[in-house]
Amino acid sequence: MRRTATAPAHVDKARKKDLRFGLMLAAPAVFIVLLLLGYPMGYAFYMSFQQWNDKLGMDHPFTGLSNYTDLISDPQFHGAMARTAYFSVITVLGGVALAVAIALLLNREFKGRTIARVLLLVPWAVPPVVNGIMWKLIFDGTSGILNGLLKSMGLIKDNVQWLADPSTAMNILIFAEMWKLLPFLCLLMLAALQGITENLHKAASIDGAGAWNKFWRIILPNIRGPLMFALIVQSMWSLKVFDTIYVLTGGSGGPAEGTTTINFLAYLTNFSNLDRGYGSAMAVTIMVLVLLVTAFWILLFGRLNRSKGDIND
Amino acid sequence: MAEIKLINVAKTYGKGRKAKNAVHDLSYTIDDGTFVSLLGPSGCGKSTTLNMIAGLEDISAGEILIDGHRVDDLEPDKRDLAFVFQDYALYPHMSVFENIAFGLRMRKVPKAEIHTRVTDAARRLDIEHVLSNRPRALSGGQRQRVALARAIARRPAVFLFDEPLSNLDALLRDQTRSELKMLHAELGATSVYVTHDQEEAMTLSDKIAVMSRGKLEQFGTPFEVYHQPATEFVASFVGKPRMNLFTAAKLASGHYGLSGTHFTVDVPAVQAPEMRIGLRPEECDLRVPSSGEAAHGTVRTVEPLGNVSDVILDVGANQFLSRVPGFGTFQPGDEVVIDTQRARVHCFDIKTGLRI
């Protein structure tokens, strides 16, 4: 312990040199990140405090928090928030639960397991835009494959306008998004499950834990970390969903705003209505929302972690 | 308490032509309250046998009875046994207390009773001070104790151990081994212990089941296994240093010799023209040949261990080991005579490997 206190000068010097070299290596990457992420973020923040509509000319008066207060009473934003909540709750909770279920199945020994695992990854290999186009082709009201299939089976007489009804369009959006996100989540959960040793399962069997207790008391607590990670990243993705909506609805967020989530509304406000100030306020709000949700998951899992450590509970 | 009976138990992996027999036709009885080791090299089927007794693996044929009741179709938790794993298999997300209590909670033992049993088990194994810690905060030896505490808190009729000491360092292993022996003496529960370490098996067991390639080679007391090995495999596997084993040809009735040498052994009442002879190194003395006497072999190396020395000899084309007291007086290159007067001669059939 004393050695550090009386460390020779040349050691200190060498450490400083190392540190400087490390900073030098990291600098270009840090600079690029700041330029591409920090600058636009800062600029959006700056714009959100101004009345900045390109249709109203080049004058940008400072308006303080008025863009934000407008959001609070904007029915369009409320609608988008409700749709985002609906979309996110189903894709995050449903998606992660489904991923855990599929991973549990794939973690068992069965014939053709390797093939099943490879097939699982296929949707992940499809680019998001292609994924959107694929589902659009399937669900299209006039020339869609699904309508053709259902008609040939005699289940429907006339074409169903899947993407023209706001409520079905939202559910199809959720379906297409789940299709895309499941492979990653499954893989994450499968890797986590494989981290649980065979003997732990055996010990639980000997201790008399049935399938239910094994899942809730042994498996779930032991994949807590990856589970938290999955919930956080999926929450971020769901709150910020954009590409699937864009492709599936032809860039409209329709029908009748039926698939316009907050992020899509921010896009429309910014780039269709050219209301940069108001759109930026939305974007900043989304960012804060994402941070809050992330913090929520971390706090929740942190609490779970603590309460399980007590004796005599 | 519990007597475990195996009747023609077999385990086959795979089906049809790919089928592989892991365990063949095991039949023996583990008496109530005894400590029995399953001893053998890796891949001999000892762990499979233990898992089958535990119910962690199905049996392919035969029956397993505990106290006369057939258990081989029961779930592991219905067999009234506890299992100590090689890697301890502690639940990493639970405190030591919860690890020990988990099996009791699953069995709906009342809370007050759980508390008594956990603290009692912890006191026996001297881990009371770590009850609120997580397993990862413990040393290897402490984790081992937690695993043992988890087993004894359940108060099962049968304890099963799967190489529980092999993850400990040598010193701790010896210490834990004697504690295990005392624990068994105290609790008196039937115990089945899998190990590849013959020393562990000898020191702990009332009886040893020696296995090789899925077959039972011998089921006997440590004395029997050591002094009357039933097969050549048992003879070669049990005993440290290893028994000298060589093929000897009949010279005259009851008189066999190692071909190409002057080394001979007297074996009464055996008629086979050739057989395998086994001699324990510590029972073979060495001496300098007296005048006119032909030497049996030449000293190759001497390995002093302090209290004894292992002398390795070239005897014809074979190597022969003799354990002599102290540091010995032999040097490499010395010609010596092997004195087998006080040695117990073990004879095995050359084809079947069975004791003659």
Of A207, A224, A309, the CB nearest to B106: A207
Q: How far apart are CA A209 and CA B42, in angstroms?
A: 30
Among the listed ranges A210-224, A245-259, B40-54, B217-231, which one has the minimum average pLDDT value?
A245-259
Which residues of chain A carry a pLDDT beneath 50? Answer: 1-4, 308-313
Helix or strand run (H / E) with residue A239: helix A224-239
Length of chain B measured in residues = 356
Q: Over the stretch B87-136, which tens digit does the pLDDT of each residue have? A: 999 999 999 999 999 999 999 999 999 999 999 999 988 899 999 999 99
- Contact between B177 and B203 under an 8 Å Cβ cutoff? The reply is yes
Q: Which residues lie closer than 8 Å to A228 by C-beta, 6 or more apart?
A: A297, A298, A301
- Contact between B1 and B8 under an 8 Å Cβ cutoff? The reply is no
For residue B42, count CB atoms less than 10 angstroms from its CB and return exposed for 0-12, middle for 13-18, buried for 19 or more: exposed
Report the pLDDT averaged over residues B183-212: 92
For residue A276, what pLDDT is reported?
A: 85
Of B76, B86, B91, the CB nearest to A218: B91
**B93 touches A at CB < 8 Å:** yes
The verdict on ipTM greater than 0.85 is no
More confident residue, A163 or B339: B339
- What tokens were used for B244? 């000298």
Q: Does domain B4-237 have CATH number 3.40.50.300?
A: yes
Q: Which residues lie closer than 8 Å to B164 by C-beta, 6 or more apart?
A: B84, B85, B86, B144, B147, B148, B180, B193
For residue B1, what pLDDT is reported?
A: 66
**B169 touches A at CB < 8 Å:** no
Q: How far apart are CA A225 and CA A221, in angstroms?
A: 9
> Mind telling me how many Å the CA of A100 is from chain B's nearest CA?
19
For residue A305, what pLDDT is reported?
A: 65
Chain-centre distance for alpha carbon A19: 36
Q: How far apart are CA B29 and CA A271, in angstroms?
A: 82
B249-348 maps to which CATH number?
2.40.50.140
Whether omega before A8 lies within 30 degrees of 0, making that bond cis, reads no
Task: Mark yes or no for CB contact B89/A217 under 8 Å.
Answer: no
Looking only at the bridges linking them, the beta strands covering B264-266 and B255-257 are antiparallel
Q: What letter represents residue B145's amino acid?
A: R
Residue B262: pLDDT band with limits 50, 70, 90? confident
pLDDT at B189 over 70: yes
Computed from CA positions of residues B273, B278, B284, B289, in that sequence, does the dihedral angle turn out positive or negative? positive
- What tokens were used for A235? 């929450």
Of B77, B132, B134, the CB nearest to A208: B77
> Mind telling me how many Å the CA of A85 is from chain B's nearest CA?
32
| A94 secondary structure, DSSP code | I
pLDDT at B207 over 90: yes
The number of C-beta contacts closer than 8 angstroms across A and B is 70
**A115 touches B at CB < 8 Å:** no
- Mean pLDDT, rounded, of chain B: 89
Among A257, A269, A78, A82, CA closest to A169? A257
pLDDT at B18 over 60: yes
For residue A96, what pLDDT is reported?
A: 94
Beta bridge partner(s), residue B354:
B231
Task: Mark yes or no for CB contact B102/A206 under 8 Å.
Answer: no
Report the 10 Å Cβ neighbour count for A152.
8
In what order do the strands lie in the sheet containing B244-252?
A: B264-266, B255-257, B244-252, B274-279, B346-348
**B107 touches A at CB < 8 Å:** yes
Residues of A in contact with B75 (CB under 8 A): 205
Residues of A in contact with B159 (CB under 8 A): none
- Domain limits, chain B: 4-237, 249-348
Determine what percent of chain B is predicted with pLDDT higher than 70: 99
> What's the first-to-final CA gap in chain A, in angstroms?
41
- What tokens were used for A23? 């900073």
Residues of B in contact with A310 (CB under 8 A): 95, 132
> Mind telling me how many Å the CA of A219 is from chain B's nearest CA?
10
For residue A296, what pLDDT is reported?
A: 92
Looking only at the bridges linking them, the beta strands covering B308-315 and B318-325 are antiparallel
Helices (H), A54-197: 66-72, 75-89, 95-106, 113-125, 128-139, 145-152, 166-194
Output the CA angle B264-B270-B276, nearest 5 degrees: 60
- Residue recorded with tokens 């699953």: B106
For residue B150, what pLDDT is reported?
A: 93
Computed from CA positions of residues B276, B279, B285, B286, in that sequence, does the dihedral angle turn out positive or negative? positive
Looking only at the bridges linking them, the beta strands covering B308-315 and B297-304 are antiparallel
For residue A311, what pLDDT is reported?
A: 40
**B115 touches A at CB < 8 Å:** yes
Q: How far apart are CA B244 and CA B320, in angstroms?
A: 6
For residue A107, the SS3 value is coil
For residue A310, what pLDDT is reported?
A: 43
pTM of the shown model: 0.79
List Cβ<8 Å contacts ≥24 apart for B302-307: B302/B328, B302/B330, B302/B331, B302/B332, B304/B328
- Contact between A163 and A136 under an 8 Å Cβ cutoff? The reply is yes
**A195 touches B at CB < 8 Å:** no
Q: How far apart are CA A41 and CA A43, in angstroms?
A: 5
Residues of A in contact with B131 (CB under 8 A): 311
- Contact between B118 and B169 under an 8 Å Cβ cutoff? The reply is no
For residue A132, what pLDDT is reported?
A: 85
Report the 10 Å Cβ neighbour count for B156.
21
Among B38, B56, B95, CA closest to A305? B95
Report the pLDDT averaged over residues B12-34: 86
CA atoms within 13 A on the CB side of B147: 29
**A206 touches B at CB < 8 Å:** yes
Q: Over the stretch B149-174, which tens digit does the pLDDT of each residue have? A: 999 998 898 999 999 888 888 888 88
For residue B237, the SS3 value is helix
**B137 touches A at CB < 8 Å:** no
Task: Mark yes or no for CB contact A199/B91 under 8 Å.
Answer: no
Helix or strand run (H / E) with residue A238: helix A224-239
Task: Mark yes or no for CB contact B134/A309 under 8 Å.
Answer: yes
Residue of B nearest to A212 (CA): B106
Q: Over the stretch A55-64, which tens digit does the pLDDT of each residue have? A: 777 777 788 7
For residue B76, count CB atoms less than 10 angstroms from its CB and return exposed for 0-12, middle for 13-18, buried for 19 or more: buried
Among B207, B245, B269, CA closest to B353? B245
